[in-house]
C-alpha cells in the first residue's frame, strides 16, 4: 500500500513538473530589445498590391473595392480586433459649458459631454474644444487628439472641468484635483493652434476605456453578448475602443457649427498614435491622419523587431490588441500584414508619420519605412508619396500626400510637431 501511495506521489510530481514545463514553454521569456540594425532578421513585407489569393492589384477600383477591404479585415482579425459597435442612435451631446473669451480672448471654449448611449449616468466622454473666434462666422478646420491624464491636464485654464481619472497600474478610479491642472500643457499649445485658425478638441482616453488589463470597465461590456466577459480573440482591445471613441468625437464635431466637419484631422501620440492610425483607417471621414511617435503596433514595421517587439508589447500591454495578435509573439514573419499596410489604409487622404531622434524604442526608421512603403497605394490612386527609401535628416520634414519628419529630442509632442501638422493641413486642406 505504502509503495502504491509513493508511486502516486511520484506520478503526481511528474505531472506537475511536466505541467510547469509546459507553462514555461508556453510563455517563453521576452527577448531583450535589439537596437542593432545589423541584427534585424531578413524579412519580406507583404505586398500591398497583391491580394491574398495572389491576384495583382493594378487599378484604383480594385484597391478600393477588393484589396482595401481585405487589408482592413486583416487588421481587424489579427491585430486590433473587430470594432463590434458603431454609433448608438441614442447617443447625445450635451454642452456642459461654453465661453467666447477663452485663452485671453483669442478663443471660444466648449465642453461637451458625449453620452454614448444617451444616458446621464451611462458611459460617455467629455470633449474639450477650443476654436478660433472666427469660427463663430466661418467654421474652422480642426484637430482631434485624445489625452492621457484628463482634459484639465492639457491647460491651466481654470474653467476646464475636473473629471474621473484611472490609474494605469492599478486601474483605480479617482476624482482629479487641482494638483495636476496643466501637467501636460507643453503638449497642447492651444493658443498657437487657434492663432493659426484651427480648432482643437480633446478627450481623456480613460473616459472611453481605462488603460488597464480589465475588460469589465470602459465601453467593452456595453457590447458583450449575454454571458460574455472578455472580447473574443478577434474582437477589439483597448486601442480599438479608443479609436471608436475618436469616431464618436468626430460625430460630435460634425454636429457643431463652429467646426468644418469635412476638415477634421485625427492626431495621436504614442499608444494614442497607434490609435489615430487605426481610427483613420476605419473611419474615412477623418480628412487627415497623423501619428506622433507611434512605434510598435503603430507606424513602425513589426518585422524589423528593433526597439519594442510584438512579444514585448503583448506582454506589457496584453489588453491593447486582440488576442489573435499574441500568435505573432516572436513570430513577426508569419503576420499576414505589416504596418505599411495600416498607413496605406489612410489613402488617398493625406497621412503624416512623425518620429523623434531619441525615441529608439519606437524605431524611427521603421516608422519612416512604413510611410515610404505605403507609397505604392498612393501612387496607384494618383497621389504623390515619399520618394526616397532613405530617411530625411532631422528637422527636415517631407510633405507629399504622405508626410514625415524626425525631429531632435525625445518621445513627446512638441511645438515643432504641431507646427508641422498645421503646415501639412494648410497644404492639403487650404489655409484657414
Ligand atoms: C510604452 C509602450 C509603447 C507606447 C508608449 C506610450 O513605451 O511600450 O508602445 O507607445 O508606452 O504610449 O507612451
pLDDT per residue as tens digits for the range 245-304:
999 999 999 999 999 999 999 999 999 999 999 999 999 999 999 999 999 999 999 999
Q: According to the model, what pLDDT value does residue 288 have?
A: 99
Q: According to the model, what pLDDT value does residue 28 have?
A: 86
The CA 53 to ligand 1 mean position distance, Å, reads: 35
Q: According to the model, what pLDDT value does residue 26 have?
A: 58
- Say whether pLDDT at 23 is over 70: no
Whole-angstrom Cα distance, residue 312 to residue 230?
A: 22
- Say whether pLDDT at 177 is over 80: yes
| Ligand 1 pocket: which of 212, 237, 238, 271 to mutate (most atoms within 8 A of CB) | 271
- Say whether pLDDT at 20 is over 90: no
**What are the distances in angstroms from CA 109 to CA 103, 133, 135, 153, 264?**
8, 9, 11, 16, 17
Whole-angstrom Cα distance, residue 83 to residue 26?
A: 29
Mean pLDDT of all residues in 160-184: 95
Strand pairing partners for 30?
none
pLDDT class for 162, splitting at 50, 70, 90?
Answer: very high
Q: According to the model, what pLDDT value does residue 27 have?
A: 76
- Say whether pLDDT at 10 is over 80: no
Q: Is the CB of 270 under 6 A from ligand 1?
A: yes
Whole-angstrom Cα distance, residue 321 to residue 225?
A: 20
Give me the active site residues, please.
270, 411
Return the ligand 1 atom nearest residue 411 CA. Answer: 13
| Ligand 1 pocket: which of 145, 275, 295 to mutate (most atoms within 8 A of CB) | 295
**Residue written as cell 512579444?**
311
Whole-angstrom Cα distance, residue 401 to residue 80?
A: 25
- Say whether pLDDT at 336 is over 90: yes
- What is the 3-state secondary structure of the chain? CHHHHHHHHHHHHHHHHHHHHHHHHHCCCCCCCCCCHHHCCCCCCCCCCECCCCCECCCHHHHHHHHHHHHHHHHHHHCCCECCCCCCCCCEEEEEEEEEEHHHHCEEEEEEEEECCCCCCCCEEEEEEEEEHHHHCCCEEEEEECECCCHHHHCCCCCCCCCEEECCCCCCEEECCHHHCCCCHHHCCHHHHHHCCCEEEECEHHHHCCCCCCCCCCCHHHHCCCCCCCCCCCECCHHHHHHHHHHHHHHHHHCCCCEEEEEEEEEEECHHHHHHHHHHHHCCCCCEEEEECCCECCCECHHHCCCCCHHHHHHHCCCCCCHHHHHHCCCHHHCCCCHHHHHHCCCCCCEEEEEECCCHHHCHHHHHHHHHHCHHHHHHCCCCCCCCCCCCCCCCCEECCEEEEEECCCCCCCHHHHHHHHHHHHHHHCCC
The CA 388 to ligand 1 mean position distance, Å, reads: 28
> CA nearest 259: which of 142, 94, 143, 425?
142
Q: Is the CB of 295 under 6 A from ligand 1?
A: yes
Q: Is the CB of 113 under 6 A from ligand 1?
A: no
Q: According to the model, what pLDDT value does residue 6 have?
A: 47
- Say whether pLDDT at 323 is over 50: yes
The CA 169 to ligand 1 mean position distance, Å, reads: 14
Average pLDDT over the chain reads 94
The CA 294 to ligand 1 mean position distance, Å, reads: 8
- Four-CA torsion 63, 69, 71, 73, nearest 10 degrees: -170
Q: Give the residue, by CA position, lying nearest to ligand 1 atom 13.
A: 270
- Say whether pLDDT at 14 is over 50: no
Q: Is the CB of 271 under 6 A from ligand 1?
A: yes
CATH classification for the domain delimited by 69-86+135-429, as one of 3.40.50.880, 3.40.50.1820, 3.30.1490.20, 3.30.70.20: 3.40.50.1820
% the chain with pLDDT above 70: 94
Return the ligand 1 atom nearest residue 293 CA. Answer: 10
- Say whether pLDDT at 234 is over 50: yes
The CA 270 to ligand 1 mean position distance, Å, reads: 6
Copy the grid coordinates of residue 100.
467666447
Q: Is the CB of 308 under 6 A from ligand 1?
A: yes
Strand pairing partners for 97?
111
Q: According to the model, what pLDDT value does residue 8 have?
A: 44
- Say whether pLDDT at 18 is over 60: no
Q: What is the pLDDT of residues 357-411, one digit of tens each?
A: 999 999 999 999 999 999 999 999 999 999 999 999 999 999 999 999 999 999 9
Mean pLDDT of all residues in 69-90: 97
- Say whether pLDDT at 17 is over 80: no
Amino acid at each position: 500500500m505504502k509503495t502504491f501511495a509513493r508511486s502516486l506521489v511520484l506520478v503526481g510530481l511528474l505531472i506537475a513538473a511536466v505541467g510547469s514545463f509546459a507553462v514555461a514553454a508556453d510563455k517563453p521569456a521576452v527577448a531583450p530589445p535589439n537596437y542593432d540594425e545589423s541584427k534585424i532578421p531578413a524579412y519580406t513585407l507583404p505586398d500591398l498590391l497583391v491580394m491574398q489569393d495572389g491576384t495583382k492589384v493594378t487599378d484604383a477600383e480594385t484597391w478600393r473595392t477588393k484589396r482595401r477591404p481585405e487589408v482592413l479585415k486583416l487588421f481587424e482579425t489579427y491585430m486590433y480586433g473587430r470594432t463590434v459597435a458603431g454609433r448608438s442612435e441614442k447617443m447625445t451631446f450635451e454642452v456642459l459649458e461654453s465661453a467666447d473669451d477663452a485663452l485671453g480672448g483669442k478663443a471660444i471654449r466648449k465642453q461637451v459631454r458625449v453620452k454614448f448611449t444617451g444616458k446621464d449616468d451611462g458611459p460617455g466622454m467629455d470633449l474639450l474644444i477650443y476654436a478660433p473666434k472666427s469660427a463663430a462666422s466661418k467654421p474652422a478646420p480642426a484637430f482631434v487628439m485624445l489625452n492621457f491624464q484628463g482634459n484639465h491636464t492639457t491647460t491651466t485654464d481654470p474653467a476646464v472641468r475636473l473629471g474621473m481619472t484611472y490609474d494605469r497600474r492599478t486601474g483605480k478610479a479617482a476624482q482629479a484635483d487641482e494638483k495636476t491642472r496643466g501637467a501636460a500643457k507643453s503638449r497642447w499649445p492651444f493658443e498657437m493652434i487657434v492663432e493659426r485658425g484651427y480648432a482643437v478638441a480633446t478627450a481623456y482616453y480613460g473616459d472611453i476605456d481605462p488603460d488597464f488589463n480589465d475588460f469589465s470597465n470602459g465601453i467593452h461590456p456595453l457590447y458583450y453578448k449575454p454571458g460574455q466577459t472578455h472580447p473574443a480573440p478577434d474582437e477589439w482591445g483597448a486601442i480599438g475602443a479608443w479609436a471608436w471613441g475618436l469616431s464618436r468625437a468626430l460625430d460630435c464635431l460634425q454636429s457643431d457649427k463652429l467646426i468644418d466637419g469635412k476638415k477634421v484631422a485625427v492626431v495621436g501620440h504614442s499608444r494614442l498614435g497607434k490609435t489615430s492610425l487605426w481610427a483613420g483607417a476605419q473611419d474615412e471621414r477623418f480628412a487627415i491622419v497623423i501619428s506622433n511617435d507611434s512605434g510598435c503596433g503603430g507606424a513602425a514595421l513589426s518585422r524589423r523587431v528593433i526597439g519594442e517587439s510584438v512579444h514585448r508589447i503583448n506582454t506589457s500591454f496584453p489588453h491593447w490588441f486582440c488576442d489573435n495578435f499574441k500568435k505573432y509573439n516572436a513570430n513577426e514573419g508569419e503576420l499576414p500584414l505589416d504596418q505599411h499596410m495600416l498607413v496605406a489604409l489612410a489613402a488617398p487622404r493625406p497621412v503624416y508619420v512623425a518620429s523623434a531622434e531619441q525615441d529608439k524604442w519606437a524605431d524611427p526608421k521603421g516608422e519612416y519605412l512604413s510611410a515610404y512603403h505605403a507609397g505604392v497605394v498612393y501612387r496607384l490612386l494618383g497621389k504623390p508619396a515619399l520618394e526616397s527609401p532613405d530617411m530625411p535628416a532631422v528637422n527636415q520634414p517631407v510633405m507629399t500626400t504622405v508626410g514625415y519628419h524626425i525631429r531632435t529630442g525625445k518621445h513627446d509632442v512638441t511645438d515643432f510637431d504641431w507646427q508641422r501638422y498645421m503646415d501639412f493641413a494648410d497644404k492639403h486642406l487650404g489655409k484657414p
